[in-house]
Structure 1
Amino acid sequence: MNHMKQLVKDKLGLSVFPTQSIETHLKAAADWILQAQLGTADDGVAHSYDIRVKKWLASYPETTGYVIPTLYDYAKHYNAPQYAEAARKMTVWECDIQLPDGGVRAGTMDAEIVAPTIFNTGQALFGWAKAYLETGDDRFRIALARASDWLVAAQDEDGAWRRFPSPFTTSKLNSYNTRSAFGLVRAYEAIGNARYLEAAIANVEWTLARAHANDWLPDNCLSDNQDLTALTHTIAYSIRGILEVGVAAGRQDYIERAVRMAKAVAAQQRDDGALNAFYTPEWKTAVSWSCVTGNSQMAINWLRLAQLTGETALVEHAKKANRFNMSIQDLTTGDLHVRGAMKGSHPINGGYMTYRYPNWATKFFMDGLMLEQLFNKVNNIG
C-alpha cells in the first residue's frame, strides 16, 4: 500500500515540500547512498529501493561505478571521511567483480545473464579513475586500464560500439554511449594513455555524423521506440559526453554542439523547473510526467556549459531544475529506505523506474547541487 499512498500524494501535490539549504539536501542524499550500500549483501550500491515490494534490489555494478566519485567529492567538500571510505569499499568491490576480459557485467548482481556490456563498463571507469587519483592504489589503476583496454578493443573502426550491447535493453545502437567515451576521458586523465582519448573522440565523431540538422541524435533512448522519442536521462548522457570529450580534446565544435542541444532541452522546461520525460526529434515534449534523474543531469549540463562558455542564461535553468528536485526529496519521513532519496519518476508511477528510488537519481541530484555550490563560490554568488 505504500506505493499507492505515495502516488496519491504525488498526484495531489502533497509530496512537494519547502526547500531547505543545499547542505541539508545533500547530507540526506549522501546518507541514503550509504543506506543503499548497507541494503546489499556486498559493498556495492543497491540498484534501487522498490516501494511496491519494500525491498532493496541487488547491487548494480554500472551505477556503483559512478556513485564512487560523487561520494569522494562529497567527502572532500564537507570533510566527511566516512563517505570516502564507503567509496573506497565500493571500488574494491568493483575490482573483485570485474570480468576476466576486463569488462563489467550488465544488470544487477542477481541477473541470470552474466555478460560484459559497453555502457556498464564505461560507467565503471569513473569510479576506478577517481579512486586511483584519490588513493594511489595500484589495484584501481590496473582495473581501470583493463576495462579501458577492453572498451577500445570492442570499438569498431568508425568509432561506434556495436558489439556487447546490454541484454536488458531493447536498444542496441546507442548515441548515449558518448557517456562511455567520457569515461575513457577520465581514464586518460588518470593514467595518461592517449589511446583512450583517441577512442573517445572517434565515438563522438561517429555520433555527431549521424545527427539531424537540428542536432537531434538518433538511437538515443533505452527503448525500441527511440526513433520517435528520447528520454531526458539519455539525452543528458549524450550531451555530457559530447561536452567533456570536447573539453579534453580541445574541440570547440563539440562544445558548441552541446550548447545547442542543451538550449533545445531548456526551451521546453516547465515553469516548476521540471522537464517532461520524453522529447521528440523536433525537440518537443511527449509526456507530462518527469524523469527525476534527467532533471538533475540537465542541471549539471547547464552549469558546466555556463562554466565553460559564459552562457550564464543556462544557470537559471539549472537552479530551477535543482529546486524542483529538492522540493520532491522527502526529508520528513522516518523510513530510511526512502528518506533523502530521489524517485525514478514524478509522479512515482511515471514510466521510468516506476515506484522505485534508483541510486543514480540520488547520485546525479548530489552532483547537480555540488556543482551549483561550486559555481556560486567561484562567481561569488550567495
Structure 2
Amino acid sequence: MSVVSRFLSRREAMPVVDARRGLQAAAEWLMRAQDASGCGGVSAAYDVAKRQWTGAYPETTGYIIPTFFRYADFSGNPEYRERAVRMAAWESDIQLPDGGVRAGTMDAPQIVPTIFNTGQVLFGWLAAWKQTQDTRFRDSAVRSADWLVAAQDPDGAWRRFASPFATHTVNTYNTRVSFALAQAGRDLQEPRYLAAAVRNVQWALTQMHPNGWLENNDLEDNDRPLTHTIAYATRGILEVGLIAGNSGFVDAAARMARAVAQSQRRDGALPGRLDAAWRPASRWSCVTGNAQMAIIWQRLATEAGDGSGKAAAENAIRFNLSIQDLTAADAGVHGGMPGSHPRSGDYMKHRYPNWAAKFFMDAVLLQLGSR
C-alpha cells in the first residue's frame, strides 16, 4: 500500500474534546517551558526519551510573546502578560550588535545572526511595544527590521544569513519574515519595511507551480516539504497580501490552503509532508502544521471571505486536542503538543516543541473568537 493510501485510508471518528481546557493546558505547559529555561526565554522542547528540557530558543520565544499577550486578555490572568514582557526583555538583552537574532538555541555552538529567527522575534518586540509603549522594545524592533532590509537581495530573496542548522540557504518560507516586516511597516509607519515584505513575496511567487506548490520550501527536503514550512510560507503570503491590500497574494495563499485541505483525513490530521502534486509523502502527521493550517483556514474565512477551509480548520483543531495528553504525570508532556503524531514520526521525534503549543494556542484562540 502506498504512503498516500495508507495515510488517507485512516478514517477514525473524531472524539469530542474541550477546547478551553486544552487551551489552558497548553498555556500552562508553555509557562513550565519558560521556567525550565531559567533565563526568561522559553525552552525549545521537552525531550521525552531523555526526560529533560532543552535550551531556551530565541526564535520561538519571540513569537510566543504575542500569543501570551492574547491569552492574558482572553483568560483574564495577568501572569501571562508579565511573562510576555519578561520574554521580550530577555530578547532585547541577547539581541546581537548588528540588530539580528542568533540561530538555534542558547546552547548552540555557533553565535551567528539568521534571517528567519530575526523575523520571528520581530513579532514579539512589536507586540511588547504596542502593549507597554516601552521604547526599548520599539528600538529592538527597528534595529531588527533595518537589519532584515539591509540583508535582502534586490530581487526580494534573502540569500545571506541562512541558519547554519538548516540544509538550504534560500527559502520561500521566509515569507513569514515578510509578514513580520509588513507588521512593522504598519505599526511603525515605515513604508520601507512593507516594501521589502512585498518584494520578498513577489520573489516567492516566482517559485510557485501552477498548482500552488512552492519550490525551496523546506528545512531539509524541498521535494517533500513539511506542512509546518508550507504553512509558514502560506501564512506569510496571506498576511502580507492583507496588509498591503494585494489580492493576488491573498489568492495565491488561498490556492495553497485549498490544496493542503485536500490531503486531510476525516480525523483532522494532515500528512507531515506533501509532494509537488500535494500528495501525502509521510505516514505521520506534523502536529504544528495541523495547527498552523487551522489558523490559515480561519484567517481566510474571516479576512478574505473564503470559508472553504472552515470545516478543515475545525477538524484539525479537534485532532490536535484529541492527542493532547491531559493526564500525564510528566510535566513535560502534560498539556504539551508533540512534534509528530505518532511521537515516533520524523519531525521532532519523541519531543514536545514549544512552537507546537504556541500555534495550537493561536488556532484555538481564533476558534473561540479571540483575535
Q: TM-score, normalised by structure 1?
A: 0.92
Q: Write out aligned runs for 1:321-336 (5 A).
A: 321-336=316-331
Give the 3-state SS of the residue equivalent to 1:68 in structure 2: helix
CA separation of 1:241/1:177 partners in 2, compared to 1, >3 Å: closer, same or farther? Answer: same
Residue 19 of structure 1, CA deviation = 4.3
Q: 2:355 aligns with which of 344, 356, 360?
A: 360
Establish whether residue 168 from structure 1 lines up as the match of residue 165 from structure 2: yes
Contact 1:44 1:90 in 2 (8 A): yes
Q: Name stretches of at least 5 consecutive residues in structure 1 with no aligned partner.
A: 1-12
Residue 81 of structure 1, CA deviation = 0.5
In the alignment, what sits opposite 2:119?
122
In the alignment, what sits opposite 1:345?
340
> Aligned partners of 1:316 and 1:368: how far apart in 2?
13
Give the 3-state SS of the residue equivalent to 2:279 in structure 1: coil
Contact 1:268 1:285 in 2 (8 A): yes
Misfit runs of 4+, over 3 Å: 16-20
> Residue type matched to 1:240 in 2?
R
Give the 3-state SS of the residue equivalent to 1:324 in structure 2: helix
In the alignment, what sits opposite 1:271?
266
Q: 2:303 aligns with which of 295, 301, 308?
A: 308
Contact 2:183 2:243 in 1 (8 A): no
Contact 2:17 2:318 in 1 (8 A): no
In the alignment, what sits opposite 1:5?
none
> Aligned partners of 2:308 and 2:95: how far apart in 1?
42
Give the 3-state SS of the residue equivalent to 1:374 in structure 2: coil
In the alignment, what sits opposite 2:196?
199
Residue 76 of structure 1, CA deviation = 0.6
Contact 2:259 2:278 in 1 (8 A): yes
> Aligned partners of 1:282 and 1:233: how far apart in 2?
17
Which whole-Å deviations, capped at 9, do the CAs of 1:272-325 have from their partners, x for residues lacking one? Answer: 100011101111111110000000000000000011222223110000000000
Q: Which has the higher contact order (CA 8 A, sep 6+)?
A: 2
Contact 2:14 2:319 in 1 (8 A): no
> Aligned partners of 1:119 and 1:253: how far apart in 2?
24
> Aligned partners of 1:268 and 1:18: how far apart in 2?
20
Q: Write out aligned runs for 1:4-23 (5 A).
A: 18-23=15-20
Count of matched residue positions in the alignment of Structure 1 and Structure 2: 360
In the alignment, what sits opposite 1:134?
131
In the alignment, what sits opposite 1:369?
364
Which whole-Å deviations, capped at 9, do the CAs of 1:114-167 have from their partners, x for residues lacking one? Answer: 000000001001100001000101000000000000000000000000000000
> Residue type matched to 1:244 in 2?
E
- Pairwise CA RMSD: 1.4
Contact 1:132 1:190 in 2 (8 A): no
> Aligned partners of 1:346 and 1:20: how far apart in 2?
17
Give the 3-state SS of the residue equivalent to 2:368 in structure 1: helix
Residue 23 of structure 1, CA deviation = 1.3
Give the 3-state SS of the residue equivalent to 1:230 in structure 2: coil
Q: TM-score, normalised by structure 2?
A: 0.95
> Aligned partners of 2:147 and 2:349: how far apart in 1?
33
Residue 210 of structure 1, CA deviation = 2.0
> Residue type matched to 2:55 in 1?
A
In the alignment, what sits opposite 2:253?
258
> Aligned partners of 2:312 and 2:77: how far apart in 1?
30
Establish whether residue 218 from structure 1 lines up as the match of residue 206 from structure 2: no
Contact 1:19 1:326 in 2 (8 A): no
Residue 41 of structure 1, CA deviation = 2.5
Q: Name stretches of at least 5 consecutive residues in structure 2 with no aligned partner.
A: 1-9
Give the 3-state SS of the residue equivalent to 2:37 in structure 1: coil
> Aligned partners of 1:54 and 1:258: how far apart in 2?
39
Establish whether residue 90 from structure 1 lines up as the match of residue 97 from structure 2: no
Give identity over the alignment, percent.
Answer: 53
> Aligned partners of 1:320 and 1:17: how far apart in 2?
8
> Residue type matched to 1:46 in 2?
S
